[in-house]
């Protein structure tokens, strides 16, 4: 009697829990912070670790491929004739750890605390990458695989994937596939299997405002020279109106208007006011009043100040009129906004609003459009069924607030859509201190992925 390959794989996965967790810990321990120049070498260490892992589980043609930025790990397994080619996506880079003093453990010394694995990248997304690798390993150890596989693991997702558009363009033949499986999208909560229907785009700016040629004594220049810290505050304060709308000229012109049916869908999502007050700790929410929070998150564009610095910020006092001020500013984009057009809108805003008493410079650090999963997307039904197998109910299909530039590039340059899922949770502290991975959900996710591949 033949052994059911799926049951065999699931049994293998259950037996390997400790091994799987230890392997993830090794991966998390590599400080692959893509935005830090001092971690450049660590990016190669992480890529090498991941490529070794792929080779170990039986993936072929594994290679580390340079890009203009951080390297890509590629591999494939193409021995399932007549079956689809699934492009497995992931990123091995992580966010910076600042403010480090707010971590309760060392970000790169992963440790289990109750149901959680603590550490930078545990959830976003080394845990998700390893869930795929472990699921594939669990099936492949029996000698075969139900679909064809290609792997694209990048090292630039957390900095907006600046090199990936070019790199994908240079490698379209190698990357040809039927669809992409992207487990970077997460779940609404641990009881709600989730297939993300849309992602917002992102355009990220650095704005510098210059005043006097050097820091000056505030008593010798204040009230006479326009203070650049004040001037940048004056500019930032004009970027939203009193209703919380972004004031860049034309910002909403190409924003897709939701249908009544879409708004009804949003109204059913659990992301309500109570949810956001709970996760943020604030007493009163803010933003466009005519849209509920779930709509503001999934279907409305935003403009955020991600960082601000000028003058003296140490302990005590220094009476300085600073020479310059800097702001990190990013916009989340929705269909059909174009990041290059938003860049032009920001330039126009600054040209119109900046007074002649200061100088300014705007740098665009990255830009990617929003993306929406189409009806009939290959792989969607198989993933939906897999999630039902594990959670016993149909998944929800939210549009997400975050951004994954690669999804847009794959659509545009490879002509393939992405199945967007993942097993991260909203309270995993992504991009924040004490990032963590809910291990029971992670193990469940590994089994869901085994189901998924066996649904073809």
Closest separation between CB of residue 241 and a second copy, Å?
11
From 5-13, 42-50, 377-385, 423-431, give the range in contact with a second copy by CB under 8 A. 423-431
In contact, 332 and 201? CB cutoff 8 Å: yes
- Considering only residues 57, 174, 326, 362, which one is a binding residue for a second copy as defined by CB under 8 A? 326
Query: Of the candidates 195, 193, 24, which has an alpha carbon nearest to the alpha carbon of residue 94?
Result: 24
- Considering only residues 58, 146, 212, 270, which one is a binding residue for a second copy as defined by CB under 8 A? 212
Determine if 215 is a binding residue for a second copy (CB under 8 A). Answer: yes
Determine if 433 is a binding residue for a second copy (CB under 8 A). Answer: yes
Q: How far apart are CA 439 and CA 433, in angstroms?
A: 18
Query: Tokens standing for 364?
Result: 């665009």
Determine if 322 is a binding residue for a second copy (CB under 8 A). Answer: yes
Residue list 340-399, contact with a second copy (CB under 8 A)? 355-358, 365-366
Determine if 279 is a binding residue for a second copy (CB under 8 A). Answer: yes
Reduced to 3 states (helix: H, G, I; strand: E, B; else coil), residue 94 is strand
Determine if 320 is a binding residue for a second copy (CB under 8 A). Answer: yes
Q: Strands of 72-77's sheet, edge to edge? A: 60-65, 72-77, 148-154, 85-91, 179-182, 418-420
Query: Of the candidates 291, 377, 301, 304, which has an alpha carbon nearest to the alpha carbon of residue 336?
Result: 301
Q: How far apart are CA 403 and CA 406, in angstroms?
A: 9
Residue list 88-127, contact with a second copy (CB under 8 A)? 95-96, 98-99, 102
- Considering only residues 5, 58, 146, 222, which one is a binding residue for a second copy as defined by CB under 8 A? 222
Name the CA dihedral angle for 10, 13, 15, 17, rounded to a multiple of 10 degrees.
Answer: -140
Residue list 46-75, contact with a second copy (CB under 8 A)? none
Residue list 238-267, contact with a second copy (CB under 8 A)? 238-240, 244
Neighbours of 180 (CB within 10 A): 25
From 112-120, 166-174, 190-198, 206-214, give the range in contact with a second copy by CB under 8 A. 206-214
Nearer to a second copy, 201 or 417 (CB): 201
Residue 202 bridge partners (DSSP): 332, 368
Closest separation between CB of residue 373 and a second copy, Å?
17
Q: How far apart are CA 295 and CA 375, in angstroms?
A: 20
Determine if 280 is a binding residue for a second copy (CB under 8 A). Answer: yes
Nearer to a second copy, 37 or 173 (CB): 37
């Amino acid at each position: 009697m033949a052994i059911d390959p799926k049951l065999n794989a699931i049994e293998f996965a259950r037996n390997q829990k400790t091994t799987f967790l230890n392997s993830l810990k090794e991966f998390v321990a590599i400080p692959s912070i893509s935005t830090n120049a001092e971690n450049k070498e660590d990016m190669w260490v992480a890529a090498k670790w991941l490529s070794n892992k792929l080779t170990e589980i039986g993936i072929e043609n594994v290679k580390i491929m340079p890009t203009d930025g951080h390297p890509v790990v590629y591999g494939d397994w193409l021995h399932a004739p007549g079956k689809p080619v699934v492009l497995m996506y992931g990123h091995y880079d992580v966010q910076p750890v600042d403010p480090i003093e707010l971590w309760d453990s060392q970000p790169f010394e992963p440790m289990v605390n109750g149901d959680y694995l603590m550490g930078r990248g545990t959830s976003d997304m080394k845990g998700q990458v390893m869930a795929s690798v472990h699921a594939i390993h669990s099936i492949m150890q029996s000698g075969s695989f139900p679909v064809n596989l290609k792997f694209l693991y990048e090292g630039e997702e957390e900095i907006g994937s600046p090199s990936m558009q070019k790199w994908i363009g240079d490698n379209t033949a190698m990357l040809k596939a039927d669809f992409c499986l992207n487990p970077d999208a997460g779940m609404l909560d641990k009881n709600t299997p989730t297939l993300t229907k849309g992602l917002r785009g992102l355009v990220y700016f650095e704005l510098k405002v210059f005043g006097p040629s050097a820091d000056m004594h505030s008593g010798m220049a204040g009230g006479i020279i326009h203070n650049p810290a004040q001037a940048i505050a004056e500019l930032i304060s004009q970027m939203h109106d009193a209703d919380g709308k972004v004031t860049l000229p034309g910002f909403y012109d190409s924003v897709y208007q939701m249908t009544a049916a879409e708004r009804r869908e949003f109204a059913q999502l659990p992301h309500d006011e109570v949810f956001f007050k709970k996760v943020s700790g604030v007493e009163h929410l803010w933003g466009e009043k005519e849209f509920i929070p779930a709509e503001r998150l999934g279907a409305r564009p935003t403009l955020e100040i991600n960082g601000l610095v000028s003058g003296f910020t140490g302990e005590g006092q220094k009476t300085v009129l600073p020479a310059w001020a800097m702001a990190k500013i990013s916009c989340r984009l929705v269909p059909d906004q174009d990041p290059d057009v938003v860049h032009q809108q920001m330039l126009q805003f600054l040209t119109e609003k900046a007074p002649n008493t200061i100088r300014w410079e705007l740098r665009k650090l990255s830009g990617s459009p929003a993306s929406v999963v189409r009806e009939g997307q290959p792989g969607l039904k198989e993933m939906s069924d897999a999630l039902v197998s594990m959670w016993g109910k149909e998944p929800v299909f939210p549009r997400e607030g975050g951004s994954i530039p690669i999804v847009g590039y794959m659509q545009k340059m490879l002509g393939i859509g992405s199945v967007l899922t993942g097993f991260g949770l909203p309270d995993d502290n992504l991009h924040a201190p004490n990032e963590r991975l809910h291990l029971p959900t992670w193990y469940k996710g590994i089994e869901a992925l085994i189901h998924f591949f066996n649904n073809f």
